[in-house]
Amino acid sequence: MAREQFQTLTEPMFYILLALRSEMCGVDIMAAVEKFSRGRIRVGPGTLYAMLPKFENAGIIRQTRQEGRQKWYAATDRGLAMLENEIARLRILLEDAERAK
């Protein structure tokens, strides 16, 4: 059976979705990812602009506006639910790791 796309999120995907809890354009998303991860994760334009259409096609984010070539995006309800599920999954992993000590 094929694994569902976006069943779990990579770190860049997680931080992009975390950023898109608020409407942002690409440059702002890249800055937010770096800020939220305290510089540990840097998403370049190639990664970001490849990921945004995949998220949009999956209904995880939506384009909110466009001015010239600049586009703004925000997470959909589905995307926000996906983010919350991923946060819950990560909490369980951390709890399991703490108990295993």
- Which residue ranges make up each domain of the chain? 11-99
Could you list the pLDDT tens digit for every one of the 101 residues in the chain? 444 566 788 999 999 999 999 999 999 999 999 999 999 999 999 999 999 999 999 999 999 999 999 999 999 999 999 999 999 999 999 999 999 98
| Rounded Cα–Cα distance for residues 73 and 65 (Å) | 7
Fold entry, domain 11-99: Arc Repressor Mutant, subunit A (1.10.10)
Q: Which amino acid is at 54?
A: K
Residues 6 or more apart whose CB falls under 8 angstroms from that of 98 comprise none
For residues 78 and 62, what is the distance between their CA atoms, to the nearest angstrom?
Answer: 10
- pLDDT score at 2: 41
The CA R_g of the chain, rounded to the nearest whole Å, is: 15
The predicted pLDDT at position 1 comes to 40
List all residues 6 or more positions away from 22 whose beta carbon is below 8 Å from its beta carbon. 74
* CA angle 59–63–65, rounded 5-degree value: 160
